[in-house]
Chain A
Amino acid sequence: MKRLLRLTHPIHVVSGLVIWGLWFVAIYAGLSVACSVAPPESERDMLTGINVGVGLATLATTALLLWLSWASVAAGRKATLRRECYFAYLSAGVFLFSAGGTLFVGYPIVFLPPCL
């Protein structure tokens, strides 16, 4: 099991997207639940706690993915087997995409109110 944690294992080709997916489900579900439990007043437009919360989650996830991307590059540099190096770089690319994707998908909080 321990070898699964090393960033040279091919499982990490998908782990960046899994994190992205979990974040995506979390913000979509969180938004839906928040809007049905405690919808903010519509006068506040996008300046609501929900937008701020989603924004913080987005930034934190992006930071995590960026760090993982960088760590994968480092692991790829250190790897001895060609295969390990290969998968580390591949994962680094996917982590980077996931980081960009997180930021991109989270961006609409700056121009839309949450529950309308």
Chain B
Amino acid sequence: MSTLDVAGEAARSQFWIWWAMLAVAVVVALGVFALWFYTFRRRQPPPRTPHEERRIMLRWVLGGGIALPVASILVLLVFAAPSGRGMLPLPDDDAERIEVVGHQWWWEVRYPGEEGERDVVTANRLVMPAGEPVDFRITSADVIHAFWIPRLGGKRDMVPGRHSTIRLTADSPGVFGAQCGEYCGAQHTHMLLHVEALERDDYDAWLEERRASTGPGDGDDGALEAFGEHCASCHTVGGFPEELVVDDLEHGVRGPDLSDIGSRPTLGAGVLPMEEGAIAYWLEHHQTLKPGNRMPPHDHIDTETLQAIGAWLETLQP
């Protein structure tokens, strides 16, 4: 998560700007402190005429109070401020476009399809091509969140009703942490996103795999039925049989798309690592693991059913 462990262009320019600014700041601060303490340590100052005093004062104020800050901020404005240009989504047809939508408290990630193709939708895991600029088009479904991959570059708020685009580049394949940067309520802390940069070919293959996968896979009928009854009104699974969905809730809340949940590295936006049985455990204890999250408690569902659902969901990986 460290901004100083840089893995991308935007983060790198800020890394150098930070160290340069720090160096100048330390020199300025030490200079001011030294002057201050010297004025107290000095022996009796020589007697001066008011005219001399005025000249000394002017020298200090013009030099320290005006020239110093003016020079510093001019340097900042002329050399450092343009470094933000790199994150501008200036027209570039080649840039890969990925849409990220913030929800309380999870991430929806969409890979828009070409005409006629359907979007690939996943959650809490972002896979991006490495070594090329990627335009993230971001927005929010509820409150203000912020999309931030510290090792790649600065953050951008996700504002409901607005879309904004931020361009980031990962130097080489790797795994990065991302987190919600704007306080968004009870579980702001547990709103983490797993980011993976892949070589272009691997990325294309990964995306193709998801676009091609069609069905909910094999599971015992009990699990599918239970999912349709308890989960399907909020959660989508690609190709899930329509007739099994029991939608008896009136609400505007939407949960993460689960089509490829078995392949995701974490559960609950970074709360639990994905291992065998983790989903069932999460389904049973999610309100203790992540109190206040939007999924209602499952006290009315018996453990076996939850385990069946969990076991089936774990098979969902393209």
Contact = CB atoms under 8 A, between A and B. Distances in A.
Contact of A108 (B70, B73, B74, B77): B77
A111 B90 CA distance: 13
A100 B73 CA distance: 12
Contact of B88 (A43, A104, A113): A113
Q: Is the interface of A mostly helix, strand, loop or mixed?
A: helix
Contact of B90 (A104, A108, A116): A116
B85 A42 contact: no
The size class of the interface chain B forms with chain A is 10 to 19
Contacts of B78: 107
Nearest to B87: A116
Interface of A: 42-43, 45, 100, 104, 107-108, 111-113, 116
Interface of B: 70, 73-74, 77-78, 81-82, 84-85, 88-91
B146 to A, nearest CB: 19
B90 A45 contact: yes
A43 B90 CA distance: 7
A116 B89 CA distance: 7
Nearest to A42: B91
Contacts of B90: 42, 45, 113, 116
A108 B78 CA distance: 8
Contacts, number: 25
A83 B103 CA distance: 62
A43 to B, nearest CB: 5
B273 to A, nearest CB: 39
Contacts of B85: 111-112
A111 B82 contact: yes
Contacts of B88: 112-113, 116
B91 A108 contact: no
9 contacts: A43-B91, A100-B70, A104-B73, A104-B74, A107-B78, A111-B81, A113-B88, A113-B90, A116-B89
B91 A107 contact: no
Contacts of B89: 42, 116
A89 to B, nearest CB: 13
A109 to B, nearest CB: 12
